[in-house]
Amino acid sequence: MRVALSKSENELLKSIYRQGRDNGRVHTGVLADLLGVAPGTITAVVKRLAERNLLDHNPYRGVELTQAGRRAAVAVMRRHRIVERFLSDMLGYAWNEADRLAGSFEHHLPQEVEDRLYVALDRPASCPHGFPIPPPDVAEIPEMPPLYSLEPGDVATIAVPGSTDASVVEFLGAMGLRPSVRVEVKEKHPFDGPLVLEVDGHMRTVSEKVARQIFVKTEELFEERI
Amino acid sequence: MRVALSKSENELLKSIYRQGRDNGRVHTGVLADLLGVAPGTITAVVKRLAERNLLDHNPYRGVELTQAGRRAAVAVMRRHRIVERFLSDMLGYAWNEADRLAGSFEHHLPQEVEDRLYVALDRPASCPHGFPIPPPDVAEIPEMPPLYSLEPGDVATIAVPGSTDASVVEFLGAMGLRPSVRVEVKEKHPFDGPLVLEVDGHMRTVSEKVARQIFVKTEELFEERI
DNA sequence: ATCTCCTTTTTGATGGCTCAAAACCAGGGT
DNA sequence: ACCCTGGTTTTGAGCCATCAAAAAGGAGAT
C-alpha cells in the first residue's frame, strides 16, 4: 500500500464492504448502480485495486475484499464518520446533512489532520447517525442488526443511515427517533406487523418497512464497549 | 465560471497574483520554478485558464490576470487563510505548520463548508501568519509593505509568511516577533543597516535581511479597517 | 541582417477517471 | 449439448496533470 488510494478507489472499497458483508461476492453491475457510474468504469477501478491486492477479481463473476482490502475499507468509513462529526459538532450541520458533504472532501484530508480532528472532537464513539467509529487499523466494524430484528423486552440504541429519505427522517424526528436514542421494544405484531416502542417515555408505533431501515446497537454490545 | 477550477489551476492563479502585483506580466518559467513543475505543464494549464478568460496569454511573452482572474486568485487566498485558521484555532497547529497542510486539501472543500467554517471561526480578520482575510468577491488584497520600509516612529502589526525558513522563525519567536504583534520602529541604521524595534516592551534589533522577510500593516490601514 | 542562446511551446507518453458502444462470456432455457 | 440473453469486460475517446525531449520563437550580439 505504497501510495494513497484515489477517491474512486476509496468509494469502491466502501461499497464493496457494505455489499459484501453476507453475500461475500459482489457483482460489478451492483457497484456501478450504487456509485452511479458506467459499468466499464467499475471494471477499470477494480483492476487497479486487484493489482494492489485489496480485492480478488473473478472476471464475470464478481469481486471480494481481501483482508487488506477490508482494513482499507474500514479506514475509509472511519474517516467518513469523523468528518461527519466535524461537520455536525464544529460547523453545526444537522445529522442528516453531514453525510452528503463529508463525501466531497474527506478523501483529500491528510491522515495527520484526520487524527488531530479525532482528538479535537474528543474521540467520539459514533458518527452523527449513530454508527460506531471503529478504532484505527481494524478489518471489521461490528454489524448492526435492523431494529425490526429485536423482540419485545429488548433495549437498544438506534442508528439512522444517511441514505434514509428526507420524508422518513422528518417522520422519525417527530417521534423522537433520533440517532443514539435509547428504545425499548414493547410489542411486535405478527406477520410483519408494526413494532411498538417506548421512546423517551412515549409509546411509538413504527411499520415493519421503517423498522428495517433503522439499525440498532443492543445492550450487550453496548456493555462490551464500556 | 461554470465549473470549479482544479487544484493546479487554483495554485497557478495564486502564484500569478503574487508575482504580478507590480511586474504585471509574469513569465511561465518563473511559475514553473515556483510550483516546482516542468515548464510545459505551466503552458498547458495557462492555456485552459486563458480559455476561461481568467488570464491573458501572450505566447513567449508572459501572462497577466484579467479582472475575473484576480477575483478568482483572491478567493483562493481567502480560502487558504480560512483553512489555516481552522488548523490553528480548532486543531491546535502552530501558526508556522498550518500553511503546509492547508494546501493539501483546501481545494476540495465545498464553498458551503468554507462559509460555515468562516462563521464558526468567528469571522477572523487575518490568518495565523497575520495576513488579512479578504472579504468574498474582491479582486485585490491590500498590499503589505516589508517591515524594512518603515521609518523611526512608525507603528505597525507584523505578518510572517509561511515560506519563512524554520531557523528564522525560531529566531523571531525568541524575540517575541510573532504574527499580529505590534511593533514600533525606534531606529533605522543607514546603508541597509539593522532596524531597532520596540516589541512588547523590549528593544530588539533585526537585520535588514530579516526585516525584508516580514510584512506589516501600518496604523493608518489598521484604523481604516475599524 | 543574421545568428545564437535561452526560454517557451509543442509533441508524444503515462496514468487516473469517465463514457458509449462493441466484443465477450456464463448460466439458464430448450 | 446448444444457443440466447443479459451482465461484464474491452476498446476507443476525451479531459486533467504531468514529464522529457523536440521544435519554435525572441532578443541581444555580431
Same domain flag for A56 and A119: no
- Give the closest nucleotide to A62 (alpha carbon vs C1'): D8
Q: What is the CATH number of the domain that holds B27?
A: 1.10.10.10
**Residue B129 falls inside a structural domain:** yes
Average pLDDT of span A7-12: 95
Same domain flag for A104 and A151: no
Cα separation of B78 and A108, whole Å?
Answer: 19
Q: Which residue of A has its CA nearest to B98?
A: A113
pLDDT of residue B22: 75
Nearest to A48 by CA among A30, A63, A60, A35: A63
- Contact flag, residue B62 CB and nucleic strand C, below 7 A: yes
On strand C, nucleotides with any atom < 7 Å from a protein CB are 7-12, 16-22, 25-27
pLDDT, tens digit, 9 for 90 and up, residues B33-61? 999 999 999 999 999 999 999 999 999 99
Closest protein residue to D7 (Cα–C1'): A29
DSSP annotation of A140:
-
**Residue A1 falls inside a structural domain:** no
Average pLDDT of span B158-180: 93
Same domain flag for A194 and A166: yes
- Contact flag, residue B94 CB and nucleic strand C, below 7 A: no
Nearest to A215 by CA among A158, A149, A154, A156: A158
- Does B222 score more than 60 pLDDT? no
Cβ pair B108, A104 in contact under 8 A: yes
> What residues in chain A have their Cβ under 8 A from chain B's Cβ atoms?
87, 90-93, 101, 104-105, 107-110, 112-113, 116-117, 120
Average pLDDT of span A65-81: 96
The DSSP string of B66-126 is -HHHHHHHHHHHHHHHHHHHIIIIIS---HHHHHHHHHHHGGGS-HHHHHHHHHHTT--SB
What sign does the dihedral B207-B212-B215-B218 (CA atoms) show? positive
Residue A105 has its nearest CB partner, among B92, B93, B109, at: B109
Average pLDDT of span B192-214: 96
Same domain flag for A129 and A153: no
Q: Say whether A93 and B116 touch across the interface (CB within 8 A).
A: yes
- In angstroms, how far is D30 C1' from B61 CA? 25
pLDDT of residue B226: 41
Q: Say whether A90 and B90 touch across the interface (CB within 8 A).
A: yes
Average pLDDT of span A25-29: 94
Same domain flag for A61 and A75: no
On strand D, nucleotides with any atom < 7 Å from a protein CB are 7-12, 16-21, 25-27
Average pLDDT of span A153-164: 92
Residue A97: its H or E element? helix A95-105
Of A141, A162, A184, the residue at which a domain comes to its end is A141
A-chain CB neighbours of B102 within 8 Å are: none
pLDDT level of residue B225 (50, 70, 90 thresholds): very low
- Contact flag, residue B29 CB and nucleic strand C, below 7 A: yes
Cα separation of A46 and A84, whole Å?
Answer: 27
Strand, coil or helix: what is A128? Answer: coil
**Residue B166 falls inside a structural domain:** yes
Cα separation of B33 and A9, whole Å?
Answer: 32
Of A90, A115, A141, the residue at which a domain comes to its end is A141
**Residue B1 falls inside a structural domain:** no
Q: What is the CATH number of the domain that holds B175?
A: 2.30.30.90
pLDDT, tens digit, 9 for 90 and up, residues A124-152? 999 999 999 999 999 999 989 999 999 99
Q: Which of A113, A114, A117, A118 to mutate against chain B (most B CBs within 10 Å)?
A: A113
Q: Which residue of B has its CA nearest to A120?
A: B91
Task: List strand residue ranges (DSSP E) for B120-178, in order.
Answer: 155-159
Average pLDDT, chain A: 92
Same domain flag for A137 and A162: no
- In angstroms, how far is D16 C1' from B6 CA? 8
pLDDT of residue A24: 77
pLDDT, tens digit, 9 for 90 and up, residues B81-137? 999 999 999 999 999 899 989 999 999 999 999 999 999 999 999 999 999 999 999
* Helix, strand, coil shares, percent, chain B, to 5: 50, 15, 35
Neighbours of A165 (CB within 10 A): 9
Number of domains in chain A: 3
Same domain flag for A219 and A153: yes
- Does A222 score more than 80 pLDDT? no
Same domain flag for B186 and B131: no
Cα separation of A184 and B55, whole Å?
Answer: 64
- Does B212 score more than 50 pLDDT? yes
Same domain flag for B216 and B155: yes
Neighbours of A125 (CB within 10 A): 11
Residue A196's domain comprises 147-224
pLDDT of residue B21: 84
Cβ pair A13, A69 in contact under 8 A: yes
